[in-house]
Each structure stands twice: as structure tokens, then as C-alpha cells.
């Protein structure tokens, strides 16, 4: 029988595959449709669907004690990450963004320690640092040691996503995986609609079909469906452990960027991917002590 932690890793990997197309899809949409429309439109569209799902399934209102975690999740993955990545993708290649966002696994593990009181072992931290060092080496080689404005936005996006992942993963253990992202979207929806109306957000027209396909993807998959698998994985396998599957996301995204956008994928990708995969495999075998407060059946 497959253990709970292994199932959590598989759910997490499914979420990573879904998220790996986020930057290429955003890159396809943002330059044509506009930063404001893509960043707000994706969250408003997903938020409307989330409200319908919550109403259709007659979900009870979250407990008052859950509101802080829902707000942190919402600020991180509904507001902060979409806006900052859209801003970055209007000015940088998706392949470049993928490498910077590769720092997310370690950031998520740190956020998990802080929010969920997880206690990763020393060996886990060492493998995480080694994998992150590999990615940093890749970043510096690709950028010739100089990071631009887009990198600042991407770094901010990493922080936002890490907090949102950790808070949502902790909450998913008792509230349910899909319920977490739906409530996070729903709680942000009224404010986002007001902002869109006040600012007068509209798409830049005409836009090619590829831009609309990218927009549809980030709305339906990146902002909603991908989180169903991701938060379920975090709840089942632990935030620090499952977050390490994200170390593979950078390479999935680079491959997708090359295939969908024609961005060059360096031959060194294979070597870096193999090195990170080995380190991730080692790290996920190391024991992570989890607080009893985050151990529970994921709905």
C-alpha cells in the first residue's frame, strides 16, 4: 500500500506540473493583454468560479480561527504572486523567471517551519541548501552575474508564494485542499473587483489567440485547479517535504518555454536537472518531524 507521505508527494508533483506552465502562459498573455488585465483578470475569473463551487457544494463558513491563515494564503497566492510574476513576465523571458522562482522550495520550507512549526532535520536543510546552490549557480551563469528589475519582482513573488503555500498547506490538513484555495479566492474577490472597476482594467486589443489561451490557463489551472492538487499534497506529505518537488518545476518550465514560446533551452539543462533530481530524492527520504497540529486527514 502506498504510504500517506508518498501519496502526498505524488499530489504535490501533479501540482508542480500544473504550475510549471504558469510563467510561459503568463509570458504569452501579459505583453499582449496588459499587466493589469492579466494579473487582476485571472484572480477575478478564478474567484467567481470559486464562489460558485463553494455555493454549489454548500460549504460551511470557515472558523474564525482559520481566517488569519486564509488571509495570508490570499495575500500570497491570490494577490502577491500573480501580480509580481505578471509584472516580471512583461519584461523578462519565462525561462529566466523559472530559474529565479526555483528558489521557492527552500523559501516554502522556511515558511513552513515558521507557520506550521515543522522541524526539518539537519540533513534536510543541507540537501535543500545544496539544491538551491545549484539553482543559484544556474541563475548567475544565465544572467552573467547581474540581476535586473524583473528579478526583484520574481524574488518578491517567491516570498509571497512561500507564505501562501505554507499557510494554505497547514490549513488544508483540517479544512480541505480545494476549500482552502476557494476561500482564499473568495475572500479577495470583492476587493479585486472594486480595484478593477476603479482603475478601469481592460484588455489591450487586438490580442493574438495565444494570449487568450495563456490567460485561460493561468485563470483556470494556475490560479485554481493546480492548487487543488498542491494543497492536498502539502496536507498529506508535510509542507517542508512536499515543497521540495518544486525543485523540478524550474526544469519543467524551461522545457515548456522552449516548446511553447521558442525560448532557447541550454544543453546544460539536462545536467542541472539530473543533479537537482538526485538531491531532491535524497532530501525527501530524510525524516521531518511535524507538529501534531498539522497532522490530520486531508479532505
Residue 240's alpha-carbon distances to 99, 105, 140, 170, 187, in angstroms, are: 20, 8, 26, 11, 26
Output helix, strand, coil percentages for the chain, rounded to the nearest 5. Answer: 80, 0, 20
Residue 179 to residue 168: CA distance in whole angstroms: 10
Residue 85 lies inside a defined structural domain of this protein: yes
Residue 194 lies inside a defined structural domain of this protein: yes
Please report which confidence band the pLDDT of residue 181 belongs to, taking 50, 70 and 90 as the band edges: very high
Residue 256 lies inside a defined structural domain of this protein: yes
pLDDT, mean of residues 27-55: 94
pTM, two decimal places = 0.85
Q: How many domains does the chain have?
A: 1
Return the C-alpha torsion angle 178, 296, 164, 10, nearest 10.
-70
pLDDT at 143: 65
Residue 77 lies inside a defined structural domain of this protein: yes
Residue 143 lies inside a defined structural domain of this protein: yes
Please report which confidence band the pLDDT of residue 287 belongs to, taking 50, 70 and 90 as the band edges: low
Residue 250 lies inside a defined structural domain of this protein: yes
Encode pLDDT of 63-102 as tens digits: 988 999 999 999 999 999 999 999 999 888 887 787 778 7
Domain residues for 64? 4-294
Say which residue, 282 or 13, is predicted with more confidence.
Answer: 13
Residue 181 lies inside a defined structural domain of this protein: yes
Residue 299 lies inside a defined structural domain of this protein: no
Q: What is the mean pLDDT of the chain?
A: 84
pLDDT at 265: 67
Helices (H), 146-248: 149-175, 177-199, 209-217, 226-237, 239-242
pLDDT, mean of residues 247-275: 79
Amino acid at each position: 500500500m502506498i504510504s500517506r507521505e508518498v501519496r502526498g508527494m505524488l499530489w504535490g508533483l501533479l501540482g508542480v506540473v500544473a504550475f510549471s506552465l504558469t510563467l510561459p502562459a503568463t509570458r504569452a498573455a501579459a505583453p499582449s493583454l496588459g499587466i493589469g488585465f492579466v494579473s487582476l483578470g485571472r484572480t477575478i475569473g478564478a474567484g467567481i468560479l470559486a464562489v460558485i463551487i463553494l455555493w454549489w457544494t454548500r460549504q460551511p463558513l470557515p472558523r474564525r480561527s482559520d481566517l488569519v491563515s486564509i488571509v495570508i494564503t490570499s495575500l500570497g497566492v491570490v494577490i502577491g504572486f500573480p501580480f509580481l510574476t505578471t509584472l516580471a513576465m512583461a519584461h523578462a523571458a519565462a525561462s529566466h523567471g523559472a530559474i529565479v522562482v526555483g528558489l521557492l522550495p527552500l523559501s516554502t520550507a522556511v515558511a513552513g517551519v515558521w507557520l506550521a512549526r515543522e522541524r526539518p532535520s539537519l540533513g534536510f536543510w543541507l540537501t535543500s541548501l545544496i539544491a538551491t546552490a545549484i539553482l543559484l549557480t544556474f541563475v548567475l551563469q544565465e544572467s552573467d552575474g547581474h540581476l535586473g528589475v524583473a528579478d526583484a519582482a520574481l524574488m518578491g513573488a517567491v516570498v509571497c508564494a512561500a507564505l501562501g503555500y505554507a499557510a494554505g498547506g497547514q490549513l488544508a490538513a483540517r479544512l480541505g485542499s480545494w476549500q482552502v484555495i476557494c476561500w482564499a479566492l473568495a475572500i479577495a474577490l470583492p476587493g479585486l473587483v472594486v480595484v478593477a472597476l476603479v482603475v478601469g482594467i481592460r484588455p489591450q486589443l487586438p490580442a493574438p489567440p495565444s494570449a487568450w489561451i495563456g490567460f485561460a490557463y493561468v485563470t483556470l489551472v494556475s490560479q485554481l485547479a493546480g492548487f487543488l492538487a498542491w494543497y492536498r499534497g502539502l496536507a498529506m506529505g508535510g509542507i517542508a517535504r512536499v515543497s521540495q518537488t518544486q525543485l523540478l518545476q524550474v526544469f519543467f518550465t524551461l522545457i515548456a518555454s522552449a516548446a511553447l514560446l521558442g525560448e532557447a533551452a541550454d544543453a546544460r539543462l539536462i545536467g542541472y536537472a539530473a543533479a537537482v533530481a538526485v538531491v531532491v530524492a535524497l532530501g525527501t527520504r530524510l525524516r521531518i518531524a511535524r507538529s501534531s497540529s498539522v497532522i490530520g486527514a486531508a479532505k
